[in-house]
Structure 1
Amino acid sequence: MTLPLVDDAPGTPSLVARTTAIPDPGDLAALVPADVPARDVVSWLRDGDGLIGWGRAASVRTTGEDRFEDAEAWWRQVSAQAVCRTDVDVPGSGPIAFGSFAFSPHSDAGAALVIPAVVVGRRDGVSWVTHISPAGRLSPAPRIVPTPAASAPGELAYSDGALTGPQWTTAIARTVELIQAGDVDKVVMARDVQVEAAAPIGPQWLVQRLSEQYANTWTFSVDGLIGATPEMLVRREKGLVMSRILAGTIQRTGNDERDLALAGSLARSSKDLEEHEYAVRSVADALRPHCTSMNVPESPFVLHLPNVMHLATDVAGVLDDRASSLKLAAALHPSAAVCGTPTAAAAAVIEELEHMDRGRYAGPVGWMDTAGDGEWGIALRCGALDPHDTRHITIFAGCGVVAGSEPDAELAESEAKLLPMRDALTSD
Structure 2
Amino acid sequence: MTSEPAAPPSPLPLLVARTRQVADPGDLIDLLPRDAAPQDLMSWIRDGDGMVGWGRAAAVHTTGRDRFERASRWWRDVAGRAVVRDDVRRPGTGPVAFGSFAFRSTSAAGASLVVPQVVVGRRDGVSWVTTISSAGEIPAPARLSAQPAPVAPTDVTYADGALTGAQWSEAVDAAVRRIQGGDVDKVVLARDVDVVASAPLDARWLLSRLASSYANTWTFAVDGLTGATPELLVRREKGLVHSRILAGTIRRTGDDEHDLALAAKLARSSKDLEEHEYAVRSVADALRPHCRSMNVPEAPFVLHLPNVMHLATDVAGVLADEVSSLTLAESLHPSAAVCGTPTVTAAEVIDDLERMDRGRYAGPVGWMDGNGDGEWGIALRCGQVDAENPSRIRLFAGCGIVAGSDPDAELAESEAKLLPMRHALADD
TM tier, smaller: over 0.9
Q: Tell me the equivalent position of 1:3.
A: none
Q: Tell me the equivalent position of 2:306.
A: 306
Q: CA deviation at 1:219?
A: 0.3
Q: CA deviation at 1:141?
A: 1.8
Q: Tell me the equivalent position of 2:94.
A: 94
Q: Does 1:23 align with 2:23?
A: yes
For 1:347 and 1:221, the matched residues in 2 are separated by 26
Q: Tell me the equivalent position of 2:267.
A: 267
Q: Tell me the equivalent position of 2:146.
A: 146
Q: CA deviation at 1:139?
A: 4.4
For 1:219 and 1:33, the matched residues in 2 are separated by 17
Q: Does 1:50 align with 2:34?
A: no
1:16-65 alpha-carbon deviations (Å, 9 max, x no partner): 00000000000001001101111000000000000000000000000000
Q: Tell me the equivalent position of 1:209.
A: 209
For residue 92 of structure 1, give the secondary structure of its aligned residue in structure 2.
coil
Q: Which amino acid aligns with 1:366?
A: G
1:200-230 alpha-carbon deviations (Å, 9 max, x no partner): 1121111111111100000000000000000
Q: CA deviation at 1:140?
A: 2.4
Q: Which amino acid aligns with 1:316?
A: A
Q: Which amino acid aligns with 2:268?
A: R
Q: CA deviation at 1:389?
A: 0.6
- Detail structure 1 runs of 4+ shifted over 3 Å in the superposition: 135-139
For 1:284 and 1:251, the matched residues in 2 are separated by 27
For 2:114 and 2:379, the matched residues in 1 are separated by 16
Q: Which amino acid aligns with 1:424?
A: A
Q: CA deviation at 1:11?
A: 1.7
**1:218-257 counterparts in 2 under 5 A?**
218-257=218-257
Q: Tell me the equivalent position of 2:157.
A: 157
For 1:241 and 1:221, the matched residues in 2 are separated by 23
Q: Tell me the equivalent position of 1:188.
A: 188
Q: Tell me the equivalent position of 1:322.
A: 322
1:271-325 alpha-carbon deviations (Å, 9 max, x no partner): 0000000000000000000000000000000000000000000000000011110
For 2:185 and 2:139, the matched residues in 1 are separated by 55
Q: Tell me the equivalent position of 1:376.
A: 376
Q: Tell me the equivalent position of 2:5.
A: none
Q: Which ranges in structure 1 are unaligned for 5 or more consecutive residues?
A: 1-8
Q: Tell me the equivalent position of 1:287.
A: 287
For 1:24 and 1:199, the matched residues in 2 are separated by 34
For residue 391 of structure 2, give the secondary structure of its aligned residue in structure 1.
strand
Q: Does 1:363 align with 2:371?
A: no
For 1:81 and 1:420, the matched residues in 2 are separated by 41
Q: Tell me the equivalent position of 1:68.
A: 68
Q: Which amino acid aligns with 2:333?
A: H
Greater alpha carbon shift after TM alignment, 248-257 vs 198-207: 198-207
For 2:142 and 2:291, the matched residues in 1 are separated by 42
Q: CA deviation at 1:142?
A: 2.7
Q: Tell me the equivalent position of 1:396.
A: 396
For 1:190 and 1:182, the matched residues in 2 are separated by 21
Q: CA deviation at 1:90?
A: 1.6
For 1:257 and 1:111, the matched residues in 2 are separated by 44
Q: Which amino acid aligns with 1:416?
A: A
Greater alpha carbon shift after TM alignment, 197-206 vs 45-54: 197-206
For residue 99 of structure 2, give the secondary structure of its aligned residue in structure 1.
strand
For residue 74 of structure 1, give the secondary structure of its aligned residue in structure 2.
helix
Q: Tell me the equivalent position of 2:108.
A: 108
For 2:32 and 2:178, the matched residues in 1 are separated by 48
Q: Which amino acid aligns with 1:195?
A: V
For 2:202 and 2:81, the matched residues in 1 are separated by 34
For 2:336 and 2:378, the matched residues in 1 are separated by 12
Q: Tell me the equivalent position of 2:420.
A: 420
For 1:209 and 1:146, the matched residues in 2 are separated by 17
Q: CA deviation at 1:153?
A: 1.3
Please, what is the CA RMSD of the aligned residues?
A: 0.8
For 2:367 and 2:142, the matched residues in 1 are separated by 22
For 1:98 and 1:141, the matched residues in 2 are separated by 21
Q: Tell me the equivalent position of 1:120.
A: 120
For residue 390 of structure 2, give the secondary structure of its aligned residue in structure 1.
strand
CA contact (8 A) 2:32 2:53 kept: yes
Number of aligned residues: 420
For residue 334 of structure 1, give the secondary structure of its aligned residue in structure 2.
coil
Q: CA deviation at 1:148?
A: 1.3
For residue 260 of structure 2, give the secondary structure of its aligned residue in structure 1.
helix
For 1:146 and 1:209, the matched residues in 2 are separated by 17
Q: Tell me the equivalent position of 1:170.
A: 170
For 2:70 and 2:202, the matched residues in 1 are separated by 30
Q: Tell me the equivalent position of 1:331.
A: 331
For 2:392 and 2:137, the matched residues in 1 are separated by 35
For 2:139 and 2:284, the matched residues in 1 are separated by 45
For residue 141 of structure 1, give the secondary structure of its aligned residue in structure 2.
coil
Q: Which amino acid aligns with 1:213?
A: S
Q: Tell me the equivalent position of 2:4.
A: none
For 1:293 and 1:136, the matched residues in 2 are separated by 42
For residue 253 of structure 1, give the secondary structure of its aligned residue in structure 2.
coil
Q: Tell me the equivalent position of 2:134.
A: 134
1:70-127 alpha-carbon deviations (Å, 9 max, x no partner): 0000001101110000110221111110000000000000000000000000000000
Identical amino acids, percent of aligned pairs: 70
Q: Which amino acid aligns with 1:375?
A: E
Q: Which amino acid aligns with 1:182?
A: G
Q: Which amino acid aligns with 1:133?
A: S
Q: Which amino acid aligns with 2:409?
A: A
For 2:183 and 2:136, the matched residues in 1 are separated by 59
For 1:370 and 1:90, the matched residues in 2 are separated by 11
Q: CA deviation at 1:134?
A: 1.1
Q: Which amino acid aligns with 1:269?
A: S
CA contact (8 A) 2:131 2:140 kept: no
